[in-house]
Chains A and B, each alone.
Chain A
Amino acid sequence: MEPGENEVWTLAEQREGKLKPISYELLAWGRSLADKLNVPLASLVIGNGISQDALESLIHGGADRVYSIQHPLLTHFICESYARVLQHLIQEHHPAVLLGGATTTGRTLLPYVAIKVHTGLTADCTGLDIEPGTGNLLQTRPAIGGNILATIKTPNHRPQMATIRPRSKQPLCPDPSRAGVIESIIVQEEWLDNRVQFLGRDPLGEEGDGLEGSDIVVSGGKGLRKGENFSLIRGLAQELRAAVGASREAVDRGWISYPHQVGLSGKTIAPKLYIAIGISGSIQHLAGIKSSEQIAAVNLDPNAPIFQVADFGIVGDLFQVVPRIRDRIRKYRLEKQKEDPAYGCT
């Protein structure tokens, strides 16, 4: 077998040379698949200025091989250039599986590549397995706003490609004793596509960062009555080290910016805990939160649909409830800190 042939590949993601958590989550998925198929697992990194330590961290995170593809013109994600790099590598090495993150990068790049290499791609998977007997990749994903779970395979085309929802698996515990090979790929001039120019990046500002990457998200809706009252949500979020989300109603009223919007026309998230405050839980909103591990809700209306999906519900006036639970959490933390000075330091 040629090197690379039938391997499982995962696509690492980086920004300004720093690897993102999804890179390691994909390795955790890839490791279990590669072990079942008894093939090597490789991680691909496309970018520039990625350190040797960062490349080795992918081996510690489960990779047997790292393909490092670095070039100044690959510093920023430009779909057409990244796609050509991947297309060349796929056509040269014939991997069996290629996994990317269901991120704004992966959900742009992989559909482009899937057309170019003529193979199937399954979006936003939350489960992966190997079909006994055939060795086909079984890809499970929610669809129709999370109302169904579909399992999909790509029986006759290779590689079998999928984007994987961030935070759908814990990264493996880093193992510095793991051995692997780092292979630097010489970038060919013709792989680079200079049609699109990257002009710059503007950060989201305030707490918009990390809605997708947070363990806890606290969201506010129409029940807040006015924009200033979002301070209640922000206060509770701060106490819980959580990100701030919002319903469509709150965003449409101008109380908070669009990057905070959770739901069908906003973001789909799957935190460990989602707290909906003053949000009734329309089907569009629920579509964005259904995969959360735990859902808590505070609402005045006992018949609000949010309570149907809540693991913990409080029927009451959010203006009383939110300050009270915030105080109670603070008290809990202080007590814990007295018992164990190391509590909450991480």
Chain B
Amino acid sequence: MRKKSNSATALEAALRQAVPSLRSADPARVSKACARIAATPPVSPLHLPQTFIKPLLRVAACCALLLGIAVLLRPRQPAETVPNLPSVTLNDFTALMPKQAFENSLASEAANLATDLADLTAALNERSLSILF
């Protein structure tokens, strides 16, 4: 165990000792970099994420959060009352509809039903007879 830790320490020491030393700065290279910086047009503050977009996103997130909370905490309005329908009895039909028109419509419905019944009977007879013969 001790041997391992000794070798690890020796390795660390060897790594630290073998680090190449720093040379002095190259003025030509520095000048080139500075010239490039001077030649580059300044970035518009609108395009700097740290100055514009992040605060804007934070404000938008806060607004969305507040809106959500407001929607959740909004007091619920009572449901609108359904208007009551007037209760109508059979006796009130006479008041709602003229008697003559009522009789005529019922008579025509009865005539229609009788015709339909006659047609249905004729069709049934015809089919049953066709099965038999």
Tell whether A and B belong to one assembly: no
**Which residue numbers of A lie inside 8 Å of B, CB to CB?**
none
